[in-house]
Structure 1
Amino acid sequence: LEDAGGWPERVTTDRFADYATLAARALGDRVKTWTTLNEPWCSAFLGYGSGVHAPGRTDPVAALRAAHHLNLAHGKAVQALRAELPSRARTSITLNIHHVRALTEAAEDLDAVRRIDALANRVFTGPLLEGAYPQDLLQDTAGLTDWSFVQDGDLATIHQPLDFLGVNYYTPTLVSAATGEASHGSDGHGASEHSPWPGADRVAFHRPEGSTTAMGWAVDPSGLYDLLMRLKAEFPAMPLMITENGAAFDDYVNPEGEVSDPDRIAYLHGHLSAVQRAIVAGVDVRGYFLWSLLDNFEWGYGYSKRFGAVYVDYPTGKRIPKASARWYADVARTGTLPDRDGENR
């Protein structure tokens, strides 16, 4: 597919629809809920903008074309799934929606938030959930493209009814207006001399204060709460699912053969508390998935970062449940979240 042009080319949307049809025919008797795409922002902007993910291209126009064609492929896939499974297919898409905050309340910093929010979030939520690309996104990128790759009928195809929206969250994004030399890093998704943000050269990214994970990502559960509240305000009828949330730390097996990971337990406690607060505030959260069950291969880092609740010794394949696995099992089993003092709620 990449040799034929990849996601920047429209034909890829048809191949993805074919794939969805084949998957529905093969698995439709067992699979009830279908997520068409996971983190299309990464596929489009890290794959074609910064080049830190496959296929490694650094072309801002290709990144915008890819984003549109990923949106279109989602719409065609939903149509294909429902055609094959008219009474059984529950459909969704998972977005790594960036919770973008301003360094200060200065107008230029708030405008930096707007710019990145358009490129990170509304480039997907606009057509997917509202049926249109945001006007400010089109204006911000007018110097790069006229968006003529959006053809008649595309937005109607993209704007399919969904059963829920998947949300991946790890850390907030802190931005300001760039001063002097433009600073436009990759907000923790992998450093590169190229920016994944087409036309965002007036934006600077900053590392938030406080503790960080092994990825260098700030630990901030309030970002998840604020994000869920925003989604409720903007799309009140859309059920939500936390499809990824977790943290990588420098885990190791101690002499007793155990893996103690108190930082991960603290991370999960804080973020599950944030989800619980959001539910109490009226957010329709249907479920939560920890990333991840096992230590595994990470796209940009290979086997060097461990997100799992279960430690994997890669040379032997041996699996060792970490302390967080026991803790999280109790949460899942009881449906309660232990307080620091051991009380459940």
Structure 2
Amino acid sequence: MSFPKNFLWGTATASFQIEGAWDEDGKTPSIWDEFCEQPGAISDHSNGKTACDHYHRFREDVALMAEYGIKNYRFSVSWPRILPEGTGKVNEAGVAFYNALIDCLLEYGIRPWMTIYHWDLPACLERKGGWVSEQMPEWFAEYTGVLADRFGDRVKDFFTINEPQCIIGLGYMTGGFAPGLKLGLKEQVTACHNLMKSHGRACQVLREKVKDVRIGYAPCGASVIPKDEQNPADVEAARKAYFAVEKDSPSFSVAWFSDPVILGTYPEDGLKLYGQYLPEGWQEDMKVICQPLDFYAQNIYEGREVRAAENEDGWETVPYPAGYPRTACGWPVTPRALYWGPRYLWERYHVPFLISENGMSSHDCVMLDGKVHDPHRIDYLHRYIREYRRAGEDGVDIRGYFCWSLMDNFEWARGYSERFGLVYVDYPTGKRIPKDSLAWYAETIRTNGENL
């Protein structure tokens, strides 16, 4: 069986990771601009001031996508480029940039998929409380309204928020990502709630303003894989483990961030642990948080195996074997993550499914022949996408796959030390070199996965 006839193949990027032009044309600092200035925050002491210079080179990047047959492009918008003060006056130069990008995509026959928020909150709003502020849902609604008004005539596909688990878990719990805070449980839970309410308000605004709009949500989380797929006890144990809310914080949970959005309620185990920290009247907020979605997406890179166990939880994690395969950044290579993650999510939520990010960091370099050969990435993508196809064969309503990433870029707290792209970027010169994996992916797109 091949992929569905109208299956969507694409690539993805994020504004802060590729755009650069950090203070040009009216843009103000984001929390990531300021986080990069904190000593030790970025492992290679770099920043996103120039990144891939996509702000100035987007036409070249779009032409490259078109050359290789990429028909869908997921990109995010820089909030402080559109609203330098977070709210209020619109920065027309910022609007002009995204208008030019969107028009360029459409000229080449590439469908734009806009992510409203991929982590670059205006720093001025963080100083007003950021996601902990009860005003955030209305700030977010105002920002979404500007995007809807200015781009909704051509962009019909929107992701509201990318990886809420990282926004709160890494930004407000561990402090490893911007804004680098380590807050208590009450503030973490408040931030989670405000984030989901912001998602809901964005959905309402988009439905009101954009004709024929399609809306999705892009959380993340490592899949949980049954040790023995033929053992019903292991399959059920993995399902329970996948949706269980962690006992130290809800900030990295799959169910905590998706049950309210899709099912209209917090998971029962999460309420027992953290219900006391929710804001007063949170039940009424579910009317805002739970909005109809056209697709549910997930960023999936890896998974962990579990098996049934006679303990309090009913499962136990199976250690990775000695010498297990890993990517350049140390993440485990677990192709079955793209079968079991989508399967469990489909069974629980029954919303058409997309992979909004999947890919790997590899030890890429320009070789003596002037090319970039990345067989490990090709093998990784081949194995993962084949498992995703298997999920579709077993009844999951799979609609699309976005490879992370179009090009090497600023990999958040790891700086430029990791290369996830299908296109190699020589940062000193900005030169783009298509990797072997881009040609392989182009063939996968052309054959709709029949080459797998």
Say yes or no: does 1:71 pair with 2:196. Answer: yes
Q: Would you say how many aligned residue pairs link Structure 1 and Structure 2? A: 309
Select which of 319, 336, 340 maps to 2:449. Answer: 336
Amino acid at match of 2:194: H
Bigger RCO (CA 8 Å, 6+ sep) = 2
Q: What TM-score results when the alignment is normalised by the length of structure 2? A: 0.64
Inter-CA distance 67–304: structure 2 relative to 1 (3 Å threshold) = same
Matched residue of 2:412: which SS? Answer: coil
Say yes or no: does 1:134 pair with 2:247. Answer: no
Q: Matches of 1:33 and 1:109 in 2, distance apart?
A: 32
Inter-CA distance 173–306: structure 2 relative to 1 (3 Å threshold) = same
Q: Could you give the per-residue CA deviations for residues 128-162 of structure 1, whole angstroms, max 9, x where no partner exists?
A: 111011121121236xx431355352111000000
Q: Matches of 1:110 and 1:67 in 2, distance apart?
A: 23
Structure 2, unpaired ranges of 5+ = 1-124, 308-315
The answer on whether the counterparts of 2:160 and 2:202 sit within 8 Å (CA) in structure 1 is yes
Matched residue of 1:136: which SS? Answer: helix
Say yes or no: does 1:283 pair with 2:396. Answer: yes
Select which of 340, 354, 372 maps to 1:226. Answer: 340
The answer on whether the counterparts of 2:144 and 2:205 sit within 8 Å (CA) in structure 1 is yes
Query: 1:11 offset after TM fit, Å?
Result: 0.4
Query: 1:206 offset after TM fit, Å?
Result: 8.2
Q: Matches of 2:281 and 2:435 in 1, distance apart?
A: 48
Q: Matches of 2:173 and 2:184 in 1, distance apart?
A: 5
Aligned to 1:167: 298
Q: Matches of 1:322 and 1:205 in 2, distance apart?
A: 36
The answer on whether the counterparts of 2:300 and 2:357 sit within 8 Å (CA) in structure 1 is yes
Aligned to 1:208: 320
Structure 1, unpaired ranges of 5+ = 177-203, 340-345
Say yes or no: does 1:292 pair with 2:405. Answer: yes
The answer on whether the counterparts of 1:102 and 1:112 sit within 8 Å (CA) in structure 2 is no
Query: 1:37 offset after TM fit, Å?
Result: 0.5
Inter-CA distance 175–12: structure 2 relative to 1 (3 Å threshold) = farther
Aligned to 1:189: none
Query: 1:101 offset after TM fit, Å?
Result: 5.4
Amino acid at match of 2:155: V
Say yes or no: does 1:23 pair with 2:147. Answer: yes
Q: Could you give the per-residue CA deviations for residues 246-274 of structure 1, whole angstroms, max 9, x where no partner exists?
A: 00011111111111111100100001101
Q: Matches of 1:277 and 1:249 in 2, distance apart?
A: 25
Q: What TM-score results when the alignment is normalised by the length of structure 1? A: 0.83
Inter-CA distance 149–301: structure 2 relative to 1 (3 Å threshold) = farther
Query: 1:244 offset after TM fit, Å?
Result: 0.5
1:66-105 equivalence runs, <5 A: 66-85=191-210, 87-100=211-224
Inter-CA distance 266–170: structure 2 relative to 1 (3 Å threshold) = same
Aligned to 2:255: 122
Inter-CA distance 175–302: structure 2 relative to 1 (3 Å threshold) = farther
Amino acid at match of 1:157: V
Q: Could you give the per-residue CA deviations for residues 179-224 of structure 1, whole angstroms, max 9, x where no partner exists?
A: xxxxxxxxxxxxxxxxxxxxxxxxx988633200012111011121
Inter-CA distance 323–109: structure 2 relative to 1 (3 Å threshold) = closer
Matched residue of 2:147: which SS? Answer: helix
Select which of 394, 408, 421 maps to 1:308. Answer: 421
The answer on whether the counterparts of 2:296 and 2:354 sit within 8 Å (CA) in structure 1 is yes
Q: Matches of 1:14 and 1:64 in 2, distance apart?
A: 18
Aligned to 1:317: 430
Q: Could you give the per-residue CA deviations for residues 41-87 of structure 1, whole angstroms, max 9, x where no partner exists?
A: 110111000010101011142222211111000000100111112x3
The answer on whether the counterparts of 1:68 and 1:150 sit within 8 Å (CA) in structure 2 is no
The answer on whether the counterparts of 1:247 and 1:264 sit within 8 Å (CA) in structure 2 is yes
Q: Matches of 2:347 and 2:271 in 1, distance apart?
A: 24
Say yes or no: does 1:46 pair with 2:176. Answer: no
Query: 1:334 offset after TM fit, Å?
Result: 1.8
Inter-CA distance 264–6: structure 2 relative to 1 (3 Å threshold) = same
Q: Matches of 1:94 and 1:307 in 2, distance apart?
A: 19
The answer on whether the counterparts of 2:223 and 2:303 sit within 8 Å (CA) in structure 1 is yes
Q: Calculate percent identity across the aligned residue pairs.
A: 40
Q: Matches of 1:109 and 1:334 in 2, distance apart?
A: 33
Q: Matches of 1:54 and 1:222 in 2, distance apart?
A: 31
Matched residue of 1:36: which SS? Answer: strand
Query: 1:242 offset after TM fit, Å?
Result: 0.8
Aligned to 1:245: 358
Q: Matches of 1:288 and 1:89 in 2, distance apart?
A: 19
Q: Could you give the per-residue CA deviations for residues 279-334 of structure 1, whole angstroms, max 9, x where no partner exists?
A: 11111111111001100111121111000011000000111111111111111112
Q: Matches of 1:286 and 1:112 in 2, distance apart?
A: 26
1:48-63 equivalence runs, <5 A: 48-61=172-185, 62-63=187-188
Select which of 138, 146, 152 maps to 2:277. Answer: 146
Matched residue of 1:249: which SS? Answer: coil
Aligned to 2:60: none
